[in-house]
Amino acid sequence: MTRAVKGTHDLFGEALAYHRTIVDAARRWAEAAGAAEIATPIFELTEVFERGVGPTSDIVQKEMFTFSDRAGRSLTLRPEGTAGVVRAYNEHGMKVWPQPVRLWYAGPMFRAERPQKGRQRQFHQVGYEVLGSGRPEIDAEAVALSYRILASLGLRGMRLLLGSVGDPADRERYNAYLRELLTPHAARLSPDSRRRLEANPMRILDSKDPGDRSLLAELEPRPMLAFLGPEAAEHFEAVRVRLDALGVPYQVDPSIVRGLDYYVRTSWEIHHDKLGAQSALGGGGRYDGLSELLGGTAAPGVGWALGVERVALAMEAEGLSPSAARALDLYVVPLESELVPRALEVAARFWPDLHVEYALKARKPGKGLQEAEKRGARFAGLLGPDEAAAGTLTVKDLETGEQRTLPLEEVREWIGKGGRA
Ligand code: HAM
């Protein structure tokens, strides 16, 4: 039997219901804030990610699914959404639209990581990007949305870690400091970190290697936040003031390191306490230089993405069910086999307001009620020859036991009111 490729999953049933609930919540919030949906291609020229996500990132160095097309061009399945959105912003001249431009997206992303709980090779993100403004209100807006979407799903066990990676010049100073601090101990660093010492020492701080971790614990490097220049520091303070005004609870993480190279200034991650090693539900940050890296004109930007599968895992861990797995409102039971087509007609009348299904075989009333209960229906509708002739349905409220024979229009009303008169 052939199977789905390792690290990929079929989405159906409950998993898909979680997925839809999460994407629907993100859509509602993003559109309320003025975002329009965008769907960029699932693959791009490899250079979009090489330049955008950055040559020193783990993603570009070892996690991309890259292939050549028949003309020998190098293409890559998108590992994330931001680079493609910024490419599209430039390509379609969105710079002349009223600024800032707010865009949101949902779709599959691909990273060749070692699969484990909460980490797939094909996973899904919902994301939000605002282009064309460097104002701290926009950072605060983006952070607040990413947090509130999660809160609106009922999640409680979240930690929002907020930091700043400064402006490029600040980062250069910080990297120079780290290089000086770590070079004398280079022999103790893992091979990956030794490579990073040249290109991007900041990434060493994010290393999971136990040797690297113990060296860092000994050396106690000063955090990035201590190296912010006056402008980045002022911006960070302004973002904090605005988040406080919005009542968004966050913790300052002075040494936040994000896995993508395009970030400047505000950076954040939202973690969940029940997810184990892969605890980040989402993350984001400002990326003011990205547009130029992709050959466009300057366009400041800030955004975030949530990992849909991880949010679903967190919801499950907190016992939150997907509202999209909407309970069965009514299960229609034909009492004679000739009435099966009529049962379809009755069910179809209520779509899409109510979730209604029907039995494909005649059932005795008792058996039909049992079957409705087993399917988790709130109401069962018994359809015998009398009901069919009169245009009625005998509806039983499976919660209270109350039973009524009602014309179909009134069935809708009774069920809609949850069985109240
Ligand atoms: P990221 O932190 O790389 O950011 O990914 C965002 C979220 O996607 C993660 O927090 C995680 O929940 C989920 N995720 C990442 N990799 C995997 C995986 N292999 N399996 C399952 N879930 C995963 C970005 O992608 C940026 N584009 C976010 C952004 C938008 N920054 C600015 N705008």
Q: What is the CATH number of the domain that holds 285?
A: 3.30.930.10
Q: Domain span at residue 141?
A: 13-166+228-317
Q: Are residues 310 and 350 in the same domain?
A: no
359: in domain: yes
First vs last C-alpha separation in the chain: 54
32-41, 232-241, 350-359: range with lowest mean pLDDT: 350-359
Query: Does residue 126 surpass a pLDDT of 90?
Result: yes
Q: Give the position, in ligand 1's atom list, of the atom nearest the Cα of 258.
A: 2
Q: Ligand 1: which residues within 6 Å by Cβ?
A: 80-82, 111, 113, 118-120, 123, 125, 127, 129, 259-260, 280-285, 287, 303-305, 307, 309-310
- Among 282, 317, 352, the domain boundary falls at 317
- Cis before 352 (ω within 30): yes
Q: Which of 84-93, 146-155, 327-336 has the highest mean pLDDT?
A: 84-93
Reported in sequence order, the residue ranges of 300-411 that DSSP labels E, i.e. its strands, are 301-307, 330-334, 356-358, 379-383, 392-397, 403-407
Res 255: pLDDT: 83
The yes-or-no verdict on residue 420 having pLDDT over 70 is no
Rounded Cα gap, residues 316 and 321, in angstroms? 7
Distances (CA, A) of 418 to 232, 260, 305, 398, 421: 55, 49, 37, 11, 9
Q: Are residues 120 and 39 in the same domain?
A: yes
- In what side-by-side order are the strands of the sheet with 356-358? 356-358, 330-334, 379-383, 392-397, 403-407
Q: Residue range 219-230: average pLDDT?
A: 95
Q: Around Cβ 26, how many Cβ atoms within 10 Å?
A: 29
Residue from 65, 80, 203, 278 to probe ligand 1 pocket by mutation (most atoms less than 8 Å from CB): 80
In this structure, the number of other CB atoms found within 10 A of the CB of residue 302 comes to 30
Q: Tell me: do 122 and 83 sit in the same domain.
A: yes
Residue 249 has a pLDDT of 95
Closest-lying ligand 1 atom to the alpha carbon of residue 280: 10
CATH number at residue 386: 3.40.50.800
Residue 215 lies in a domain: no
**Residue 308 and residue 194 in contact, taking contact as beta carbons nearer than 8 Å:** no
More reliable by pLDDT, 325 or 96: 96
Using most ligand atoms within 8 A of CB, pick from 60, 138, 257, 260 the residue to mutate for ligand 1: 260
Examine residue 100 and say whether the peptide bond preceding it is cis (omega within 30 degrees of 0): yes
> How far, in Å, is the centroid of ligand 1 from the Cα of 308?
9
| SS3 call for 188 | helix
Identify whether residues 337 and 311 lie together within a single domain: no
How many domains does the chain contain in total? Answer: 2
Residues 6+ apart with CB under 8 A from 383: 332, 333, 334, 335, 339, 342, 343, 346, 393, 394
Phi, psi of 279 (to 5 degrees): -95, -5
> Is 60 exceeded by the pLDDT of residue 324?
no
User: What's the pTM?
Assistant: 0.85
Provide the pLDDT for residue 326: 58
